[in-house]
């Protein structure tokens, strides 16, 4: 049974919701799954005044524990077309793991959220994927086996590079059933890939 970590940062809960859907898919594929978040770096007063969702149940991850997983799926919202500084600050502490090749050959994936449909989801996914490739990981995206990403009937998240949602300019759109299905499917594929490699 592969051990899968869903590691996320979410200011307003959109990526948090995707993270639990990714975890659901990985569990359904037989993996042992933990959902953890990275530390908030914004001062509490700033986070409160910006109405961040501060009541997130997921425990905070440590860099040292990353090597104990067979697969790590990383999710965070877009900031000007790339990953959040909170996630980057966490991943920038993995130098020791990189030096030892501790994550080489592990399975990775990326998921994300943006305010607008073309506001940088794919570049954000690639900013995560680039980081994971440097760490030696094998990337699993969201193939078109998730047919929902082709819908023209409604706004949908999801790209071949990873599951996404569109939050809206005011954050009022919550992940749709299609977005969540994409996240579940990616979680399932990551878990199945890790099971093939690690048993």
Ligand X SMILES: Cc1cc2nc3c(=O)[nH]c(=O)nc-3n(C[C@H](O)[C@H](O)[C@H](O)COP(=O)(O)O)c2cc1C
- Bridge partners of 35, per DSSP, are 6
Shortest CB 57 distance to ligand X, Å: 15
When the beta carbons of 103 and 142 are compared against ligand X, the nearer one is: 142
What residue number has its CB nearest to ligand X? 119
**CA dihedral (111, 112, 118, 119) positive or negative:** negative
Distance CA 136, CA 44 (A): 35
When the beta carbons of 17 and 195 are compared against ligand X, the nearer one is: 17
Shortest CB 179 distance to ligand X, Å: 12
Structure tokens at 105: 């050959």
Shortest CB 82 distance to ligand X, Å: 8
Shortest CB 63 distance to ligand X, Å: 21
Distance CA 14, CA 76 (A): 9
- Using the structure block, give the residue that is written with the tokens 């940062």: 9
Structure tokens at 66: 């990353």
* Displacement of CA 81 from its chain's centroid (Å): 15
When the beta carbons of 30 and 171 are compared against ligand X, the nearer one is: 171
When the beta carbons of 86 and 131 are compared against ligand X, the nearer one is: 86
SS (H, E, C) 11-67: CCCHHHHHHHHHHHHHHHCCCEEEEEECCCCCCHHHHHHCCCCCCCCCCECCHHHHH
Structure tokens at 15: 């990526």
When the beta carbons of 113 and 127 are compared against ligand X, the nearer one is: 113
Shortest CB 120 distance to ligand X, Å: 4
By CB under 6 A, name the binding residues for ligand X: 10-15, 77-81, 113-116, 119-120, 167, 171
Shortest CB 123 distance to ligand X, Å: 9
When the beta carbons of 52 and 198 are compared against ligand X, the nearer one is: 52
- Give 159's Cβ-side CA count (13 Å radius): 20
């Amino acid at each position: 049974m592969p051990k899968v970590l869903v590691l996320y940062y979410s200011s307003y809960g959109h990526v948090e919701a995707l993270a639990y859907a990714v975890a659901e898919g990985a569990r359904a594929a037989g993996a042992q799954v933990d959902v953890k978040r990275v530390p908030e770096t914004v001062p509490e007063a700033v986070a409160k005044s910006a109405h961040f969702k501060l009541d997130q149940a997921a425990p905070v991850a440590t860099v040292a524990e990353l090597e104990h997983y067979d697969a790590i799926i990383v999710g965070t919202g877009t900031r000007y077309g790339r990953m959040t500084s909170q996630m980057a600050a966490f991943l920038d502490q993995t130098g020791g793991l990189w030096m030892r090749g501790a994550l080489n050959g592990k399975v990775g994936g990326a998921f994300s959220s943006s305010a607008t449909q073309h506001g940088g989801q794919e570049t954000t996914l690639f900013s995560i994927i680039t980081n994971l490739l440097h760490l030696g990981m094998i990337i699993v995206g969201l193939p078109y086996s998730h047919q929902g990403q082709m819908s023209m009937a409604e706004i949908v998240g999801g790209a071949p590079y990873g599951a996404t949602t569109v939050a809206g300019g005011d954050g009022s759109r919550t992940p749709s059933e299609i977005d969540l299905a994409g996240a579940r499917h990616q979680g399932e594929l990551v878990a199945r890939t890790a099971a093939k490699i690690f048993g």
